[in-house]
Amino acid sequence: MNGFRDMQNQVADVLDGGVAFIVGATRWGPAWLQQCLDAYPDICAQGEAHLTDLLFPRMGEVISDYNAQADKIGNRLQVAGLPGNAAGLEFEDIDHLLRSAVGLMFRRWAARAERPPFVIVEKTPEHVTSLDILHRILPEARIIHVYRDGRDEAVAAWEFNLGLSKGEFPRAYPSFADYAEVFAGNWNRAIDAARRYQRTRQADHMGNYLEVRVEDLVAHPDATARQVFQFLGLDIDNDWLRACLDTAWDVAPLDLEPGAWRQTFDADAERLFNRQAGELLKLLGYETS
């Protein structure tokens, strides 16, 4: 019993100590920022837990199946005139289980750190479309939303997928223009989802959301990174800031210079991308032709 209580207390301490998530519809920016933050001793930013896209749905399926089976057993008992089965988990129970699972995972991350971290940071870009679920399970968590010009990201993702594909990817997208249109729609939906979450949290006066432009990381890395550290409640001196920046550039070098999309986009690709996300490009301050 004491072991259980000790673990529960450790989980509570980890979650109460400070948790943040790096999200965004971009490959390079979240990875760079994770490496930058993890280089600081008071932060533990170990990797991708894929909570909203893998863990939460799988746990939900298991619990739903269990409840269904328990109901069947209970019905059979009642038909036989025996006391019904009271087994089953309710909505609030599921949220508690999900929160406990996250706490157990982060507890192990913290145990591997050189010293107890001030904040634990998890990076899964896909969380960007499920921030409301993440907030329901971990309402105290901070969200760092990283984004860049969707056209640059489309080129980076195109080249990345071509490098991995054994032929399936080019068959699905015979031309870059075909891919650019699909990517633009996904990019648009991801950023729209994050900004809807931001508006909700502003209405709640939460102040737990920060946007980071990749272009600002490239042009003004010191000031932009310092803003992120301050958002996490940490004041970092210049020497540590420079060390963290150097680590990030070494481990996660930029895969595409800002504006390099012009070398790949033709008129057809630009037209199709703008049809899906042209208004968002303007809203975010990116130049369009």
Residues in the chain with pLDDT values less than 70: 1, 73-87, 205-206
Flag whether 78 is in a domain: yes
203: its two tokens: 């209405």
Q: Model's pTM, two decimal places?
A: 0.91
Q: Is residue 140 assigned to a domain?
A: yes
- For residue 60, being part of any structural domain is answered with yes
Report whether 277 contacts 187 (CB < 8 A).
yes
Q: Which domain holds residue 153?
A: 2-283
Is 76 contained in some domain?
yes
Cα pseudo-dihedral 279, 282, 288, 289, rounded to 10: 70
Q: What is the pLDDT of residue 75?
A: 58
Q: Do residues 270 and 155 touch, judged by C-beta distance below 8 A?
A: no
Query: Is 288 inside a domain boundary?
Result: no
What CA–CA distance (Å, rounded) separates 40 from 221?
16
- Residue 91: the pLDDT is 79
Is residue 189 situated within a structural domain? yes
Check: CB of residue 124 under 8 Å from CB of residue 47. Answer: no
The predicted pLDDT at position 8 comes to 86
Amino acid, single-letter form, for residue 159: E
85 inside domain: yes
Phi, psi of 44 (to 5 degrees): -115, 110
Res 92: pLDDT: 84
The token duo for 61 is 């399926």
Q: How far is CA 66 from CA 75, 88, 274, in A?
A: 14, 7, 47
pLDDT value of position 134: 95
150 in Cβ contact with 280 (< 8 Å): yes
What is the total count of domains within the chain? 1
Token pair belonging to 28: 């390079």
Q: What is the CATH number of the domain that holds 247?
A: 3.40.50.300
Per-residue pLDDT at 209: 94
The whole-angstrom separation of Cα 185 and Cα 76 is 49
Output the pLDDT for position 135. 94
Q: Looking at residue 5, what is its pLDDT? A: 86
Residue from 165, 131, 156 nearest 252 by CA? 156
The per-residue pLDDT for 25 is: 87
Distance of alpha carbon 113 from alpha carbon 7, whole angstroms: 18
SS3 call for 274: helix
Name the amino acid, one letter, at 72. K
For residue 117, give the DSSP letter: -
Q: What is the pLDDT of residues 187-197, one digit of tens each?
A: 999 999 999 99
pLDDT reported for residue 153: 96
Within-domain flag for 40: yes
Residue 73 has a pLDDT of: 66
The single-letter code of the amino acid at 47 is: G
What is the C-alpha separation between 236 and 261, in angstroms, rounded? 35
C-beta separation of 128 from 36 below 8 A: no
